[in-house]
Amino acid sequence: MPGGLGGYLATRGCTQPGRGRTGRAHTNSNKAAVNPTILKLVRAGCQWLEQQARQRGQPAFAELNEQDRVAVVGLAENATAKSLPRVFFEYTREDAFFFYYGRPESWTMLDYPGPPQPLGFTDFARPPKGSA
């Protein structure tokens, strides 16, 4: 993914309350709106990212340079299993993959022509060709 997960989070991810923002990850907003557990995870994960940014002298994760974003994402990726940073990383990575790789516009960047059978097996009820 261009810009990596750090770039994804910086451009579409966490926001800060008090700056006219929502405090939840953009792509997760629909899921978080209907699932309080996801909302809690996203809010806590975003707060963790903002805390990491403040420790690096920036007011928000989105304002970190790429090297620092990569370092913060690395901390989350390598955090203890089932810890907040690790669970947030895994959830956000899965979400990013779903939204990035699930969009046909991204396939051209991957040199992927698309599904071999976009309509599925429309002739599934007929016997295979060549069998009689």
Average pLDDT over residues 65-69: 94
Tell me which range, 33-42, 49-58, 109-118, is most confidently predicted by mean pLDDT: 49-58
- For residue 93, CA distances in Å to 65, 110, 111, 121, 126 come to 20, 18, 22, 31, 41
Tell me the pLDDT band of 6, cut-offs 50, 70 and 90: low
Check residue 58 and give its pLDDT: 96
Give the pLDDT confidence score for residue 33 in this predicted structure: 73
The answer to whether the CB of 37 falls within 8 A of the CB of 45 is no
Average pLDDT of the segment spanning 63-82: 96
Phi then psi for residue 119, to 5 deg, are -100, 5
Please state, in angstroms and rounded to a whole number, the distance separating the CA atoms of residues 81 and 5.
19
